[in-house]
């Protein structure tokens, strides 16, 4: 009996230890947060969201890796539009109310699609684009992870500008700033940098970052960083002082919403 009780205690100890050490399976989450890190709204409908954005009317724009699709829903979650993707990574609305979408793989890298599903424009065969934005004069500002560069394409798809070779390693996001500079998540170099068009680094942050996937500079010069493999969102001043943190989030992207809030697509741990 004594040996049995010792064995049972040993077994229960191993069982409890195993339960406590198994990593919790993450779930997909999209969130709207304020510039001071308050959560306004969140949803776990999508299993692997890669982007959450909004248009000027407040409709939700989602890229979802799990279903390989792009979605638009209204504020109540009612489906307004759906379009097939290929490892979809980013979506935003254009001034013509079309959809700018980014596929990380496949020939249809960047597409502009109307509400009927008709392709208005397309830049094809890019190497692992992560993000794209409509830039000045209907140009495209693109973060290309596979080519280790940020590029600007004109409407004829000619390259007008690109970052200097060797500066970046798998950039995952880019934000055009008002002072004609660019904020970049330099994913494999584990840093966030702000550069000018000469590719000169004007500012950088790299303190204990682990594959940063997204960065946004707010109007108050606070930087919001998706520190992906540290599973957190940092809010920092230009001095590097951390003012807010959201934890247990493996961030895929952060978008600046029309009302100044932030749209986060992540895996929640």
Mean pLDDT of all residues in the chain?
Answer: 93
Percent of the chain with pLDDT over 70: 91
Rounded CA-CA distance 18/34 in Å is 38
Locate tokens 């390693």: which residue? 169
Q: Phi/psi of residue 37, each to 5°?
A: 70, 20
pLDDT band at 96 (very low <50, low <70, confident <90, very high): very high
Provide the 3-class DSSP secondary structure of residue 240: coil
- What does the pLDDT average to over 110-118? 98
pLDDT of 21 above 80: no
For residue 127, give Cα distances in angstroms to 102, 145, 153, 236, 257.
11, 7, 14, 31, 27
Per-residue confidence at 25, pLDDT binned at 50, 70, 90? confident
Decide: helix, strand or coil at residue 47. Answer: coil
Residue 4 has pLDDT above 50, yes or no: no
Q: Where are the domains of the chain?
A: 28-262
Q: Which CATH class is domain 28-262?
A: mainly beta
């Amino acid at each position: 009996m004594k040996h049995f009780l010792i064995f049972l205690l040993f077994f229960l100890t191993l069982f409890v230890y195993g339960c406590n050490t198994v990593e919790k399976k993450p779930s997909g989450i999209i969130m709207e947060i304020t510039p001071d890190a308050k959560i306004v709204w969140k949803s776990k409908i999508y299993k692997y969201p890669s982007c959450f954005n909004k248009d000027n009317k407040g409709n939700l724009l989602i890229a979802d890796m799990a279903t390989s699709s792009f979605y638009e829903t209204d504020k109540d979650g009612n489906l307004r539009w759906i379009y097939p993707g290929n490892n979809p990574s980013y979506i935003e609305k254009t001034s013509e109310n079309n959809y700018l979408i980014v596929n990380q793989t496949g020939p249809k890298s960047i597409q502009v699609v109307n509400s009927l599903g008709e392709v208005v424009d397309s830049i094809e065969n890019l190497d692992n684009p992560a993000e794209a934005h409509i830039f000045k004069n209907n140009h495209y500002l693109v973060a290309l992870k596979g080519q280790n560069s940020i590029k600007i394409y004109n409407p004829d798809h000619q390259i007008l500008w690109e970052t200097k070779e060797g500066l970046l390693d798998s950039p995952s996001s880019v934000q055009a700033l008002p002072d004609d500079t660019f904020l970049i998540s330099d994913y494999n170099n584990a840093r966030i940098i702000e550069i000018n068009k000469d590719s000169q680094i004007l500012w950088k942050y790299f303190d204990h970052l682990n594959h940063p996937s997204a960065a946004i500079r707010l109007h108050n010069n606070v930087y919001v960083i998706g520190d992906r493999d540290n599973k957190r969102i940092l809010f920092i001043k230009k001095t590097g002082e951390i003012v807010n943190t959201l934890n247990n989030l493996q961030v895929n992207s952060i978008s600046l919403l029309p009302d100044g809030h932030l749209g986060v697509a992540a895996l929640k741990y």
